[in-house]
């Protein structure tokens, strides 16, 4: 990690630039995959499984027997941990339920709003070097709570043609039964267009590599919604002398091990503390099984000395991190100063890994600066807000003239007449 001392505002974009993928080049690879799935359906999915996952698949759907047997393949301690995470995630997301609202805005004019579940949703769960069974909880639980009628889960098979048992166990635990052995852009295409085995969905959720990300963005052009634009994982840690260097180093490495294109950023008020943290990073790095991946990610990363908190907060908000850890003495001041972040972790004993797994918040978050305008996944992500209105005869008498005047001044005569005919009817009925 390079160290910058009070960098000028004008250099922030350059110095904090995320590792960039050439999206046009990636789309050139992804578009033919999606077209082939659209034309050939299951046949294409099986071909791609052989080509990319190096496995020949007879049936794309996970059978009940395979799903039911998954729990026996897991240690009790893992199943207990998954149960704990499930409880916390379910409890926090249930709190996000919004009751229907209704109010008489003016006499005779009542407006209402209620949440309605998105009917068909697709969940993409990475299953390669890191099978993300935790993401099954993060996406499946709010989908179930929202009341989505159809939930399809796509995840790549292993070289034996099986799905990781932790993914199957977690899916069964929360009641997801339609599981498809398909990964990559081809899985996104299947959920976008539909095949004999994979239902077409209204919205696609879940993290993935650059090909999955490109496929999701292409799916939006076909009228399928996605959870958010996403890219490589990232964390920014803002720490001062009250923080513990070993803790900070561990948090930086926990993100760096995600992938070679991940980015970690350290912001501190003193260069002395930065060097303590970087020394701890070097020591801890030696012990990591994914050392090569983390080391490569650190090449994309930077440590920044910002002496003033106001400047540090400005930089953090400009960067808009996916994950933000605050380990500073004036933590409340820092919290209040943050307006752009996917999820915030406060204090020395709140590792980012808590949110990744079991604290209760969701780990599917906006990356690449999208935290300026997007929220992370929540219960709201799985519902639509529909508004309703009911106007009585008394209400149209009161409100109608204002509508007529506004429509007339927008030169929309038919809009005006839609009110006028009602008012005339009420007058003539007397």
Residue-level length of the chain = 430
Cα atoms in the Cβ-side hemisphere of radius 13 Å centred on 323: 29
State the catalytic residue, choosing from 93, 164, 257, 323: 323
323 in catalytic set:
yes
Q: Is 415 annotated as a binding residue?
A: yes
Token pair listed for 235:
């964390």
User: Would you give the distance in Å from CA 378 to the centre of its chain?
Assistant: 9
Q: Is 425 annotated as a binding residue?
A: no
Q: Is 356 annotated as a binding residue?
A: yes
Token pair listed for 47:
């071909």
Q: What is the DSSP string of 295-319?
A: HHHHTT-EEEE-SSHHHHHHHHHHH
Q: Is 258 annotated as a binding residue?
A: yes
**C-alpha distances out from residue 395 to 76, 418, 427, Å:** 63, 15, 14
Q: Is 284 annotated as a binding residue?
A: no
Backbone angles phi, psi at 336, to 5 degrees: -65, -25
DSSP H/E element including 419: helix 413-429
3-state secondary structure of 144: helix
Q: Is 363 annotated as a binding residue?
A: no
State the catalytic residue, choosing from 93, 322, 352, 363: 322
Burial category of 260 from C-beta neighbours within 10 Å (exposed 0-12, middle 13-18, buried 19 and up): middle
322 in catalytic set:
yes
Q: Is 410 annotated as a binding residue?
A: yes
**C-alpha distances out from residue 174 to 82, 116, 138, 168, 199, Å:** 11, 20, 11, 10, 20
Q: Is 323 annotated as a binding residue?
A: yes
Per-residue burial over 178-199, b = 16 or more CB atoms within 10 Å of its CB, e = otherwise = bbbbbbbbbbbbbbbbbbebbb
Q: Is 209 annotated as a binding residue?
A: yes
Q: If you count DSSP H runs as helices and E runs as strands, how many of each does the chain have, helices first? A: 17, 14
Binding-site annotation: residue ranges: 124, 186, 209, 233, 255, 258, 323, 356, 410, 415
Q: Enumerate the known binding-site residues for substrate.
A: 233, 255, 258, 323, 356, 410, 415
List binding-site positions for Zn(2+).
255, 258, 356, 415
Annotated binding site for NAD(+): 124, 186, 209
Catalytic residue positions, numbered: 322-323
């Amino acid at each position: 990690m390079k160290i910058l001392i009070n960098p000028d505002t004008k250099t922030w974009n350059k110095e904090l630039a995320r590792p960039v993928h050439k999206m046009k080049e990636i789309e050139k690879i992804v578009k033919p995959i999606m077209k082939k799935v659209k034309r050939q359906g299951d046949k294409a999915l099986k071909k791609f499984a052989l080509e990319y996952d190096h496995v020949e698949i007879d049936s794309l759907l996970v059978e009940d027997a395979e799903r039911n047997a998954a729990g026996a393949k897991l240690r009790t301690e893992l199943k207990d941990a998954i149960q704990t995470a499930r409880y916390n995630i379910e409890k926090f997301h249930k709190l996000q339920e919004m009751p229907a609202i209704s109010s008489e805005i003016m006499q005779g004019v009542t407006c209402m709003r209620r949440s309605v579940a998105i009917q068909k949703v697709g969940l993409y769960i990475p299953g390669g070097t890191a099978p993300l069974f935790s993401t099954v909880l993060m996406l499946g639980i709010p989908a179930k709570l929202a009341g989505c009628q159809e939930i399809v889960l796509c995840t790549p098979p292993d070289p034996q043609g099986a799905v990781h048992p932790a993914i199957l166990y977690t899916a069964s635990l929360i009641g997801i039964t339609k599981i498809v052995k398909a990964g990559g852009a081809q899985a996104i295409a299947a959920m976008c267009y539909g095949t004999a085995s994979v239902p077409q969905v209204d919205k696609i959720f879940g993290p993935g590599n650059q090909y999955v990300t490109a496929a999701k963005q292409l799916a939006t052009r076909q009228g399928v919604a996605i959870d958010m634009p996403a890219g490589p994982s990232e964390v920014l840690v803002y720490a001062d002398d009250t923080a513990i260097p070993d803790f900070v180093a561990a948090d930086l490495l926990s993100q760096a091990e995600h992938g070679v294109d991940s980015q970690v950023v350290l912001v501190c008020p003193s260069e002395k503390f930065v060097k303590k943290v970087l020394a701890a990073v070097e020591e801890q790095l030696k012990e990591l099984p994914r050392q090569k991946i983390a080391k490569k990610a650190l090449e994309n990363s930077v440590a920044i000395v910002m002496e003033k908190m106001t400047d540090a907060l400005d930089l953090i908000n400009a960067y808009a991190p996916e994950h933000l850890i605050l380990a500073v003495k004036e933590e409340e001041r820092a919290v209040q100063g943050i307006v752009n972040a996917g999820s915030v972790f406060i204090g020395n004993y709140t590792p980012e890994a808590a949110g990744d797994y079991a604290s209760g918040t969701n780990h599917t978050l906006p990356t690449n600066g999208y935290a300026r305008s997007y929220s992370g996944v929540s219960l709201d992500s799985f519902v639509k807000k529909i508004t309703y209105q009911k106007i009585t005869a008394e209400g149209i008498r009161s409100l109608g003239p204002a509508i007529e005047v506004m429509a007339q001044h927008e030169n929309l005569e038919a809009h005006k007449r839609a009110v006028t005919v009602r008012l005339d009817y009420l007058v003539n009925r007397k």
